[in-house]
Amino acid sequence: MKEDISVLIALQELDTELSGFDRKIEEKKQELTAREQAIAEKEVLAGQCKEKAAELKQSQRDIKNGSEDAAERIKDRQSKMMQVQTSREHQALLKEIEDAKKTIKDTEEELLQVMEQVEAEEAKAKELENLCTGERELLAEEAAKVEKAVDELNNKRLAVQEQRDKMARNVPSSLMKRYDKLLKKREGLAVVRVIDAVCQGCFMTIPPQKYNDIRLGEDIFSCPTCQRTLYYLPETEEVDA
């Protein structure tokens, strides 16, 4: 029985090492994903600026059309002036001409404002696009580095995995089944040490009788709270924990 528990302890160490590799690999990949997302968000923003610029250009055209209509109106009213007979009609035409002139003057200012807005949106889009191009280049370099690092981690991981599989073959299958099940259910921690009657997996206290049994180490015991397999090491070895 003592041999079984020591092989389980060794297995747990290897599995902890394996999940450490998995975590590191995942972290590296996530870092890239986060950077990719940040760039994609800026690209969306650049697209929005371009859309806004296009909308503004459309309203620029509308304003120009309004101004051209007003100019037409002036010509039309001026030619009608020649034919009017009453001073009331004359006054009315004059008023229309004045209004049209005012419209043209107003649209000039409006056009200037819209043009400035178009330029600002286009400049913003350009700036964002340049930024994204630069960041994409950097990201490509980083991705190559990450890929290399992940390959190295995977190679190291593979060596540990082989060691683990070899070791697992020597464990009785019923014990191995239980271990694997626990490992899955308990976030990669199936075998834990008991220190001062406290399970180091869930940090609950083990009842005194059970604690004594675990210390004797003549059987394999589980934590009554988290069901992890428990083992005891004398205090002197605690520095290794």
Chain positions contacting Zn ion, by CB under 5 A: 199, 201-202, 223, 225-226
What residues are paired with 205 via a beta bridge?
198
Find the radius of gyration of the CA atoms of the chain.
39
Beta strands in the chain (DSSP E): 191-195, 198-199, 221-222, 229-232
Taking the complex as a whole, the smallest distance from the CB of residue 199 to Zn ion amounts, in Å, to 3
Taking the complex as a whole, the smallest distance from the CB of residue 192 to Zn ion amounts, in Å, to 7
Q: Rounded CA gap, 180 and 188, in Å?
A: 9
Nearer to Zn ion, 46 or 182 (CB): 182
Q: Rounded CA gap, 224 and 207, in Å?
A: 9
Whether 17 and 160 have beta carbons less than 8 Å apart is answered as yes
Q: Which two tokens stand for residue 101?
A: 């002139």
Taking the complex as a whole, the smallest distance from the CB of residue 225 to Zn ion amounts, in Å, to 5
Nearer to Zn ion, 157 or 228 (CB): 228
Nearer to Zn ion, 67 or 229 (CB): 229
Q: Rounded CA gap, 107 and 60, in Å?
A: 10
Taking the complex as a whole, the smallest distance from the CB of residue 229 to Zn ion amounts, in Å, to 10
Nearer to Zn ion, 15 or 201 (CB): 201
Taking the complex as a whole, the smallest distance from the CB of residue 197 to Zn ion amounts, in Å, to 11
Q: Rounded CA gap, 197 and 184, in Å?
A: 25
Taking the complex as a whole, the smallest distance from the CB of residue 179 to Zn ion amounts, in Å, to 15
Nearer to Zn ion, 34 or 241 (CB): 241
Q: Is 193 helix (H, G, I), strand (E, B) or coil?
A: strand
- Residue 14 vs residues 97, 105, 156, 177, 187: alpha-carbon distances, Å: 91, 81, 12, 17, 14
Q: Rounded CA gap, 156 and 164, in Å?
A: 12
Q: Rounded CA gap, 207 and 219, in Å?
A: 16
Taking the complex as a whole, the smallest distance from the CB of residue 191 to Zn ion amounts, in Å, to 11
Nearer to Zn ion, 53 or 190 (CB): 190
Nearer to Zn ion, 91 or 225 (CB): 225
